[in-house]
Chains A and B, each alone.
Chain A
Amino acid sequence: MSTAISPARSGAPVTASRGLALRAADLVKTYPGRPPVRALDGLSVEVVAGTVFGLLGPNGAGKSTTVRILSTLSRADSGTAEVAGLDVARQPDQVRRRIGLVSQKPSSDPMATGRENLVLAGRLHGMSRRDAHRRAAELLERFRLTDAADRLARTYSGGMARKLDVAIGLMHRPEVLFLDEPTTGLDPEARAEMWAEIERLAVDHQTTVLLTTHYLEEADRLADRLAIVDHGRVVVEGSPEELKSALRGDRVRVELAEQDDTGRARSLVGGIAGVGEPVVEGRSLTARADDGAAAVPAVLAALDGAGIAVASVTVARPSLDDVYLSHVGRTFKEDEK
Chain B
Amino acid sequence: MTALAHSGHLTGRQLRALTRQPAMFGFLLVQPVIWLLLFGQLFKNVIHIPGFAHTGSYLEFITPGVIVMTALFNSGWAGTVYIDDMARGVMDRLLASPVRRGSMIAGTLAYQAITTMLQTLVIFGIAYAAGARFPGAGEGIVTTLVAAALIGMIISSFSAAVALLVRQQEALIGISQFIVLPLQFLSSGIMDTRLSPSWVREVARFNPVDWAVVASREALSGSADWALVAGRLGLLAAVAAAIALLAAGAFRAYRRSI
Render A96-127 as a binary contact track against B, CB cut-off 8 A, 1 for contact.
11010111111111111000100011011110
The count of A-to-B residue pairs whose CB atoms sit within 8 angstroms is 74
B50 at the A interface (CB under 8 A): no
Given the known inter-chain contacts A106-B88, A112-B16, A120-B13, please indicate yes or no for A125 contacting B93, CB distance below 8 A.
no
| Residues of B in contact with A, size category | 20 to 34
Closest residue of chain B to A95 (Cβ to Cβ) is B96
B9 at the A interface (CB under 8 A): yes
Segment of A70-78, A190-198, A228-236 in the binding face: A70-78
Given the known inter-chain contacts A105-B88, A107-B89, please indicate yes or no for A120 contacting B9, CB distance below 8 A.
yes
Secondary structure call for the B interface = helix
Q: Which residues of B contact A237 (CB under 8 A)?
A: none
Q: Within the assembled complex, what's the spacing in Å between the Cα atoms of A72 and B97?
A: 9
Render B153-183 as a binary contact track against A, CB cut-off 8 A, 1 for contact.
0000000000000000000000000000000
Render A126-162 as a binary contact track against B, CB cut-off 8 A, 1 for contact.
1000000000000000000000000010000000000
Closest residue of chain B to A94 (Cβ to Cβ) is B98
Closest residue of chain B to A169 (Cβ to Cβ) is B93
Given the known inter-chain contacts A105-B88, A107-B89, A165-B89, please indicate yes or no for A73 contacting B95, CB distance below 8 A.
yes
A68 at the B interface (CB under 8 A): yes
* Contact call B9/A93, Cβ cutoff below 8 A: no
A55 at the B interface (CB under 8 A): no
Render B19-55 as a binary contact track against A, CB cut-off 8 A, 1 for contact.
0110000000000000000000000000000000000
* Contact call B89/A96, Cβ cutoff below 8 A: no
B23 to A: closest C-beta gap in Å = 13
* Contact call B92/A105, Cβ cutoff below 8 A: yes
* Contact call B9/A123, Cβ cutoff below 8 A: yes
* Contact call A103/B258, Cβ cutoff below 8 A: no
Q: Within the assembled complex, what's the spacing in Å between the Cα atoms of A117 and B88?
A: 14
* Contact call B258/A73, Cβ cutoff below 8 A: yes
B8 to A: closest C-beta gap in Å = 9
> Which residues of A line the B interface, CB within 8 A?
68, 71-75, 93, 96-97, 99, 101-112, 116, 120-121, 123-126, 152, 165, 168-169
A-B contact pairs, 22 of them (CB 8 A): A73-B96, A75-B256, A96-B98, A99-B96, A101-B97, A103-B89, A103-B93, A105-B88, A105-B89, A107-B92, A107-B93, A108-B90, A111-B20, A112-B17, A121-B93, A124-B6, A124-B94, A124-B99, A125-B97, A125-B98, A152-B20, A168-B93
Q: Please name the 5 residue pairs, one residue from A and one from B, whose CB atoms are nearest each other, closest first.
A: A107-B89, A103-B89, A105-B89, A111-B17, A101-B96
Other A-B contacts than A73-B96, A75-B256, 10 sampled, CB-CB below 8 A, are A68-B92, A96-B96, A101-B96, A107-B92, A109-B17, A109-B90, A120-B9, A121-B93, A121-B97, A126-B2
